[in-house]
Structures are given as structure tokens and as C-alpha cells.
Amino acid sequence: MAIPKIVHYCWFGGKEKPDSVKKCIESWKKFLPDYQLMEWNEDNFNIEKLKYTKEAYAEGKYAFVSDVARIEALYQYGGIYMDTDVEVLKSFNSLLNTRCILGMEEKEYVATSFMAFEKGHPLVKEFLKLYENIRFLDENGQINTGTNVTKLTNMLMEKGFVQENHYQELEEGIKIYPKDFFSPYDYINCHYNITENSYCVHHFAVSWMSKKEQVKKRIKKQLSKILGPKKMNKIREKIKG
């Protein structure tokens, strides 16, 4: 079974999309003109279905609601999920005759900003079941901000995935590509590593972070532009040492 030409994305909270998001969606339309775009929001996703999504939505943590919405959409329909800060660079058509496409990001984690699956893939079913058994708030009312990237990477490690930046194939037709294919942005040193292999780029808007963390990230990005990634890395190593 091939991956269908459907692009899923999430937009919860009802705010108008900023220009940066509109620009990314325009890139999807440009390079994927024959793909169906499906937006998931309060009107077509049942937030009340799981305690996790109900609690996350009540806290205004919409990125965590989308963690569940994206995998439910992929399980029900199949297709491609992309975060709204993912810019497409070329068509995915040559990749779709398969069951599952994933890619790595920094620190050799498996990204969830881009995921592609056939309809009803068993890995997506397993991922959904995980969310059925966890809460967004712990017994003290504290937010559980563990990321879906960590959850997915841990699941794949149980299937034989190793955290090394090279192409890997696992059971159930799972194909995992190196960082430069779908996530060629180094969010640690704040620079792009786009190559001829790159199909899209995740710009890491990190809407799930606190306002304070987002400000720190923007400052770091500006410093990287001024100093360059090598100097930024040297500064980081000195601070660690």
C-alpha cells in the first residue's frame, strides 16, 4: 500500500495564521499541487475524546493537542503530516510508493514535524495507544511537557532504530532518513544544512515553548547569524566546560 497524497496539518486556538505559516502552506501548494490539504482544528477533531487532549487544550497548549490530532489523522486517512513551520522544497512524489517515511533531526531523534504513513499503519496505532494511557497534567496539576519526538524515538529504538544519522529500515516497512532530507536545520547552533537531498525544512518555531524560552531562542538565532555556527558551538563548549 502506498502513502496517499494527503497533507495533514493542525491549527488549534482560532488565531489568524501569521505570514510565516501562510508562506509555508504556499510552498506546499506550489510543490504539491495535486495533494489534498486537510486542516485539523476544533471543528473536526474531538478534543474531549482523550484526557490528554482535553487537559492540554484547557491549558492553551495547542501544540500538544496537535500531537494526538496528527497521528489520529494519519491512522484514519494515511498521508503526510507537516507542522505549519515546515517549508517544502520539492515534490514528495518519488518517495510515496512505500508504507512509512520518517526522518531524523538534531541529536539523532526521529522528527514528528514531518511524518508519512499508509492508512492504518501499526506504528501509528501503537503511538495512539500510548496517548490513551497518559495524562497531560500529573496528580499535582503540573504540566507533562514530554515531547512526542522523544516518545516516537523511544518506540522506534525498541524496534531496532539506532541514533545515528544514516538511512535505516525497520520492520513494518518503516524507513528513516538522515537529517538533511526533512529537517536540515540545526536548531542547536541555529543554521541550515540544506543539501540536494532536502525535500523540506522545519524552521522550528517551537510554539509549545514558554514565552521566555522563545525569546531566548530568538536571541540565540540572531547571535548565530552574527557570529556563525562554528563560533556559537565554541561558546557553547566553553560554557559547558
- The model's pLDDT over 132-170, given as tens digits with 9 standing for 90+, comes to 999 999 888 899 888 999 999 999 999 999 999 999 999
When divided into structural domains, the chain yields a total of 2
Q: Is residue 75 situated within a structural domain?
A: yes
Strand 100-103 versus strand 174-177 pairing type? parallel
Domain identity same for 51 and 146: yes
Domain identity same for 122 and 222: no
What does the pLDDT look like over 63-92, one tens digit per residue? 999 999 999 999 999 999 999 999 999 999
What residue numbers bound the domain in which 189 lies? 6-205
Domain identity same for 69 and 179: yes
For residue 41, give every residue at least 6 positions away whose Cβ sits within 8 Å of its Cβ, in sequence order, or none.
10, 11, 12, 14
| pTM for this model (two decimals) | 0.86
Q: Is residue 1 situated within a structural domain?
A: no
Domain identity same for 171 and 218: no
Domain identity same for 178 and 239: no
Domain identity same for 221 and 143: no
Q: Give the total residue count for the chain.
A: 241
